[in-house]
Amino acid sequence: DAPDNRSVVWAAGDKAATEAAFAAAHRVVGQDIVFTRSTAAFMEPRGVLAAYAAGRFTLHAGSQSGHVLRAIVADCLGVGRDDLRVIVPDTGGGFGARNLVYPEFVAVPFAARALGRPVRWIASRSEAFLTDTQSRSQNLHARMALDAEGRITAVDVRADWWHGAYWVNRAPHVIVTWMSPMICGPYRIPAYRFEFTGVFTNTAPIAAYRGIARAEATLVLERLIDRAARETGSDRVELRRRNLIPLAAIPWQAPTGARYQRNDFLGSLDAGLARIDWDGFAERRAASAARGLRRGRSVTTYIENAGGALAEFADLRVEAAKPEGGPEDGRVRALVGSQDCGMGHATVFGQILAGLLGVAPDRIVVEDGDTDRIPQGGGSHGSRTMRIGGGAVHNGALSLIEAGRPLAADLMEAAAADIGFAGGAYRVRGTDRAVSLFAVAAEAERRGAPLQIEERFEVPGMSYPSGCHLCEVEVDPETGAVRIDRYVVVSDPGTVINPLLAAGQLHGGIAMGVGQAMMENTVYESGTGQLLSGSFMDFCLPRADDMPPVDTVFNPVAGDDNPLGVKG
């Protein structure tokens, strides 16, 4: 309707090879998909508090990276970064949409300076619906080519991306970086073509949101495979099995440029099928039919790219006990550049440090979110924290042990080469002589140089976690009501450091996916651009009783680019 409202057209892939594959295909299937527009709906709406004193700003704000926020806001205010302190307190949810620098982050400190007093702004829920960045909103046109044996020979995907009235931050870069490389998924697809067109619309802007662009790529691919199975009369599981990349073929170089590390796609599929009792479906369907209900099921496999900023910082310190405490009443303090938005980072970083340093968890303090205390950091996004931030903490702990070894040798009058470390203490090998980590920290402080290490850890590129989701639903044909009866997720995130927290992350993502698929839709009035879904009366989030118990299975294959083996 408006041919001049395109902002960008970008394409990738081998057009000639893709067209040749479609020309030679035994079967071509196509699917048009409308991926609805959603919003993060944070537990806590956006908020900011700013003060200005003695030529320096202090800004309190909910964000996924205090350091990125400081850099951009300082530039907007025309001040040096050292003249702005950003503090990110405990924040109720990030999901990618808090990775933005919203206008109030600049306007409020500006007002604080102009008025000479602290200024606070908190969004109402209505303001959040109107001005939070939104997500998805793509019209997808996709084709898949298959040979006579049911092997996928090419995919061709075009996406019309309805991104709002303007771009924010790295908006087109997100599609290029996260969607295009994943368009072939975990399958052996030799040729592809991907093109996206940015479209200006009278809506809030689109930005990152949980699984940004990877969700769209997975949806397209899995819907095409299901359609191919229906049109060819093939079994949907066997069609996937025939095309999945086997573990023996990895590392795998996808035609999209992505290089997959070790992933057991077939193992995850088999584990999910067994866990949900795939072969027992006919009996459950008959039982549903006896109650006047219809039962359906699905299976999807996926791989995603994880990473974002590829380097992270950690400052690790061992603090000796205070005079009023016992000799072992010291602390290990970790100042980390990543940012916790309710994910439990302190717990997992604490586990890493407790295991390496032999220190009780209650002796460990983890800090983040203060640019005065922590000089640099990449924040949290793209499932990067444990892989990259955890790498910094892990390597920093080992460096801390090495830094204390000469001091321990002096205390025990032994050669540093004869000193080992285990269980929170340095020991002279072959003897019972030992000195604790906290005693060494006390000696370091006595000498005027605290036991402290600054560590920076960097990875070469993206990692590739994967898995399989399976679901069964019951539908009431009289009312259209849908009930999710069972849900299984098999996840390969690499090494699982804390299974409870990892499962919680998966459950939260599934709840958001359920909302996207069944309930949520941001709607604007045609012709006026008036938001029609501007409250929870009109925008429906899933409730507890909409969610089934999620059966979580881990099938971890360790990553190879960080000391923890985490993939994301």
DSSP 437-475: HHHHHHHHHHTT--EEEEEEEE-SS-B--EEEEEEEEEE
Which H or E run contains 181? none
DSSP class of 184: T
Mean of all residue pLDDT scores within the chain: 95
Task: List, edge to edge, every strand of the sheet that includes 550-554.
Answer: 294-303, 466-475, 482-492, 550-554
Report the alpha-carbon distance of residue 251 to residue 259 in Å, rounded: 7
Inter-residue contact 444 to 407 (CB < 8 Å) = yes
pLDDT of residue 454: 98
Q: How far is CA 512 from the centre of its chain?
A: 13
pLDDT tier, 132 (very low <50, low <70, confident <90, very high otherwise): very high
**Quick one: tokens of 565?**
């083996």
Of 265 and 307, the structure prediction assigns the larger pLDDT to: 265
Residue 249 φ/ψ, nearest 5 degrees: -90, 0
Report the alpha-carbon distance of residue 298 to residue 296 in Å, rounded: 7
pLDDT of residue 96: 87
Task: List, edge to edge, every strand of the sheet that includes 84-87.
Answer: 84-87, 56-61, 47-53, 119-122
- Average pLDDT value for residue range 326-353: 93
87: which strand partners? 60, 370
Check whether 325 has a pLDDT greater than 80.
no
Report the alpha-carbon distance of residue 412 to residue 93 in Å, rounded: 49
What are the counts of helices (DSSP H) followed by strands (DSSP E) for the chain? 13, 22
DSSP class of 541: P
Cα dihedral 279, 280, 286, 289, rounded to 10, equals -90
- Average pLDDT value for residue range 240-251: 97
Beta strands in 62-167 (DSSP E): 84-87, 119-122, 134-146, 152-164
Separation in Å, CA 493 to CA 278, 288, 303, 321, 331: 24, 35, 10, 38, 31
pLDDT of residue 451: 97
- Average pLDDT value for residue range 404-420: 97
pLDDT of residue 76: 97
Query: 47-131 domain in CATH 3.30.365.10?
Result: yes
For the stretch 481-537, pLDDT in tens is 999 999 999 999 999 999 999 999 999 999 999 999 999 999 999 889 999 999 999
Report the alpha-carbon distance of residue 243 to residue 252 in Å, rounded: 13
Q: Which fold has domain 261-306+462-568?
A: Aldehyde Oxidoreductase; domain 4 (3.30.365)
For the stretch 210-242, pLDDT in tens is 888 899 999 999 999 999 999 999 999 999 999
Check whether 324 has a pLDDT greater than 90.
no
Check whether 1 has a pLDDT greater than 70.
no
Query: Closest Cα to residue 225, out of 279, 302, 295?
Result: 302
CATH number at 311-455: 3.30.365.10
Spell out the residues 6+ positions from residue 360 whose beta carbon is closer than 8 angstroms to its own.
354
Which ranges in the chain are annotated with CATH 3.30.365.10? 47-131, 261-306+462-568, 311-455
